[in-house]
């Protein structure tokens, strides 16, 4: 061949490539109004409203003791499942995922960058939500390490669910399904309504869902001496394995 | 080693055979157009070269590599422009170019690239708000940011306004000068003729014609004289006078299979003058590529 062989194009170093993609993903999330509303607006509103207006049938003396961990669980679900699922669904619909398949980024790095971006947004949520909850009288204690472990497991589980929808449904259907699931899990997730207030049959279902397991785990981890029930760990672990595997087997890139 | 090589390629979608024993190759510094009607198998062929589809039979090589099995080695060396989409809808050209540049060790300067395709004015407008032509030009820019050795452009000028087309043609011509092999698809003859060094005409997954634009037109019968005159003239008599075949393609529209030399035109007008017949719409020239295309693909009327 001729001049073209003089310099064979090479990919950027893996670290630089990952950092650039993750930064771009975070930037896009923070520039999307609806994402910010979902990630911060709604959790802050729910937290403040129900802490100040005592209408929730919480089983704690002060609503914020229940709402603090519950809203953190909601924040994780919003970002890892709803925001990631909807964005990825539209990226798939617009051919972005297909196009990225013929760049040096490749699919494993794209997934890694998306994971890093989700964790970064979750960190921002924690930085905003914890002071608000503390300001409202929440006194978190317990074992932060356990809480972080639960958040990581739940992030994997919710991201798996989000990607399962994004990889199989049309973008508009993903949008609808993710929002529907968000509302369902919000109500059945022990985030604003305690599981103890649900009818027995519904409670049994709810206890098998990742949302209730996360809110239960966070409540347990951040209260008293910090303890997470084996049940919550089992449920979180099952979803953290099952959902991504299901997503991986069903995901269609175009 | 050719830059791209397609050997007896067969691609099927279920029962449908989209590409049927297609063979084609192109060298570095060559611009190859795959020309054909919609659904001819052009995009399927290109997407097999890009590694998106696996051949059912036959093989494809790009820079000597198997696009599926040797994907990691190949991908940094090719540039891809999809038929549509491929860009984050909320992203501006400036951000998209910077992001794609970050995938490569030695990318083209993003600002320079946007200037080349004429997008500086809309560099901060989100992709969603760009016109169809601007989206195409951004997509082209993103395909080239990594200095690829082979560029695959699927319908690069579809839906692009005339000014945009000029910009795209200039960029593509520049690629040839740098030794890049460009494989593009189009269903527009004029684009193929203007952009490509060599054209492969595809219909129903098969090659039906190949060559430079001039060669293709030559194989179709070379030069001709077309003119309008009253319908129902004696074409046999005119044929004897012209010493060439004369056909009345449609009532009142005639074609003489003869080069339009001044002498031939004089013979024609003399023959008409003797019979006091009016002459309208005299055209001297070659078969157009369109004639060739319609004949080869059988998609024209008669």
**Domains by residue range for chain B, with CATH:** 4-217 (3.40.50.300), 223-286 (3.30.70)
SS3 for chain A, per residue? Answer: CCHHHHCCCCECCHHHHHHHHHHHHHHHHHHCHHHHHHHHHHHHHHHHHHHHCCCCCCCCCCHHHHHHHHHHHHHHHHHHHHHHHHHHHHHHHCCHHHHHCCCCCHHHHHHHHHHHHHHHHHHHHHHHHHHHHHHCCCCCCCCHHHHHHHHHHHHHHHHHHHHHHHCCCCHHHHHHHHHHHHHHHHHHCCCCCCHHHCCHHHHHHHCCCHHHHHHHHHHHHCCCCCCCCHHHHHHHHHHHHHHHHHHHHHCCCC
- Give the pLDDT band of residue B299 (cuts 50, 70, 90): low
Nearest CA in chain B to A98: B86
**Residue A57 is assigned to a structural domain of this protein:** yes
Q: How far is the C-alpha of A203 from the C-alpha of A2, rounded, in Å? A: 70
Which residue in B50, B105, B179 is closest to A102 by CB distance?
B50
For B157-191, how does the pLDDT look when each residue is reduced to its tens digit (9 = 90+)?
A: 988 888 889 999 999 999 999 999 999 999 888 88
Nearest residue to B192 via CA among B183, B205, B204: B183
Distance (Å, rounded) from C-alpha A222 to C-alpha A210?
18
Indicate the number of domains in chain A.
1
> B35 with B72: CB under 8 angstroms?
no
A251–chain B nearest CA distance, Å = 15
Inside any domain, residue A5 = no
Question: Is A123 within the bounds of a domain?
Answer: yes
Asked if A24 and B86 come within 8 Å (Cβ–Cβ), the reply is no
- Residue A3 domain-assigned (yes or no): no
In this predicted model, what pLDDT tens digit does every residue of B193-210 receive, in sequence order? 888 999 999 999 999 888
- B175 touches B143 (CB < 8 A): no
**Which residues of A are less than 8 Å from B151 in CB distance?**
none
Q: Which of B76, B80, B88 sits opposite A10 (nearest CB)?
A: B76
Q: Would you say B117 and B170 are in contact if contact means Cβ atoms under 8 Å apart?
A: no
- Phi, then psi, of B152 in degrees rounded to 5: -110, 115
Note whether residue A6 is domain-resident. Answer: no
Which ranges of B40-161 would DSSP assign to H, the alpha helix? 42-49, 71-74, 93-101, 110-116, 132-144
- Determine whether the interchain pair B181/A4 forms a contact, defined as Cβ–Cβ distance below 8 Å: yes
Domain of residue A211 covers: 13-250
Nearest residue of A to residue B63, measured between CA atoms: A1
Query: Model-level pTM?
Result: 0.83
Q: How far is B161 from chain A (nearest CA, A)?
A: 22
- The residue of chain B with its CA nearest to that of A99 is B86
Q: Is A148 on the interface with B (CB under 8 A)?
A: no
Q: Percent of chain A having pLDDT more than 90?
A: 80
Mean pLDDT of chain A: 92
- Does this complex have an ipTM over 0.90? no
Per-residue model confidence (pLDDT) at position B269: 93
Domain membership of residue A4 (yes or no) is: no
The nearest CA of chain A is from the CA of B148 a distance in Å of 7
* Gap from B299 CA to chain A (nearest CA, Å): 31
What pLDDT was estimated at residue B208?
87
Assess A98–B contact: CB distance below 8 Å, yes or no.
yes
Structure tokens at A79: 């970002």
Task: Pick from B76, B125, B129 the residue to mutate for testing the A interface (most A CBs within 10 Å).
Answer: B76
The verdict on residue A212 lying in a domain is: yes
Mean pLDDT of B74-93: 94
What distance in Å separates residue B192's CA from the closest CA in chain A? 24
């Amino acid at each position: 061949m001729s001049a073209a062989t003089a310099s064979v194009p090479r990919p950027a170093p893996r670290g630089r490539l990952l950092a650039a993609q993750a930064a771009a993903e975070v930037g896009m999330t923070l520039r999307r109004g609806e994402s910010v509303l979902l990630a911060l607006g709604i959790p802050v509103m729910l937290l403040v409203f129900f802490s100040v207006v005592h209408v929730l049938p919480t089983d704690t003396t002060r609503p914020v003791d229940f709402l603090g961990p519950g809203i953190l669980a909601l924040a994780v679900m919003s970002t890892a499942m709803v925001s990631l699922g909807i964005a990825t669904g539209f990226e798939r619909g617009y051919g972005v995922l297909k196009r990225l398949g013929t760049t040096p980024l490749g699919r494993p790095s794209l997934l890694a960058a998306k994971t890093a971006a989700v964790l970064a947004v979750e960190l921002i949520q924690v930085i905003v939500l914890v002071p608000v909850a503390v300001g409202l009288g929440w006194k978190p204690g317990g074992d932060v390490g356990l809480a972080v472990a639960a958040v990581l497991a739940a992030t994997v589980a919710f991201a798996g669910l989000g990607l399962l929808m994004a990889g199989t449904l049309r973008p508009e259907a993903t949008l609808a399904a993710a929002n529907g699931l968000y509302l369902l899990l919000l109500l059945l997730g022990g985030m604003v309504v305690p599981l103890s207030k649900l009818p027995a049959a519904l409670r049994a279902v709810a206890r098998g869902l990742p949302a209730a397991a996360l809110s239960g785990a966070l409540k347990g981890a951040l209260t008293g001496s910090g303890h997470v029930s084996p049940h919550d760990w089992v449920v979180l672990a099952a979803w953290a394995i099952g959902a991504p595997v299901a997503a991986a087997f069903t995901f269609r890139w175009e | 080693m050719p830059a791209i090589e397609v050997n007896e390629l067969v691609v099927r979608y279920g029962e449908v055979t989209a590409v049927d024993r297609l063979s084609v190759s192109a060298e570095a510094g060559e611009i190859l157009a795959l020309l054909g009607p919609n659904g001819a198998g052009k995009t399927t062929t290109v997407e097999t070269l890009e590694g998106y589809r696996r051949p059912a039979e036959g093989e494809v090589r790009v820079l000597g590599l198997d696009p599926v099995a040797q994907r990691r080695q190949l991908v940094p060396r090719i540039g891809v422009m999809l038929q549509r989409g491929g860009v984050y809808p909320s992203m501006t050209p400036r951000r998209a170019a910077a992001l794609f540049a970050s995938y490569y060790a030695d990318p083209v300067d993003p600002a320079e690239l946007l200037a080349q395709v004429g997008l500086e004015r809309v560099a901060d407008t989100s992709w969603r708000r760009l016109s169809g032509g601007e989206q195409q030009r951004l997509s082209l820019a993103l395909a080239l940011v990594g200095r690829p050795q082979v560029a695959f452009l699927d319908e690069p000028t579809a839906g692009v306004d005339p000014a945009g087309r000029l910009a795209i043609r200039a960029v593509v011509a520049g690629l040839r000068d740098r030794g890049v092999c460009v494989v593009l698809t189009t269903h527009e003859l004029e684009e193929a003729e203007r952009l490509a060094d060599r054209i492969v005409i595809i219909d129903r997954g098969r090659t039906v014609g190949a060559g430079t634009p001039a060669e293709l037109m030559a194989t179709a019968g070379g030069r001709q004289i077309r003119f309008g005159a009253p319908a129902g003239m004696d074409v046999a008599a005119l044929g004897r006078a012209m010493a060439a075949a004369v056909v009345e393609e449609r009532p009142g529209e005639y074609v003489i299979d003869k080069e339009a030399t001044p002498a031939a035109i004089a013979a024609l007008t003399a023959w008409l003058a003797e019979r006091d017949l009016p002459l309208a719409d005299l055209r001297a020239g070659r078969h157009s590529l369109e004639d060739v295309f319609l004949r080869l693909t059988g998609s024209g009327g008669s």
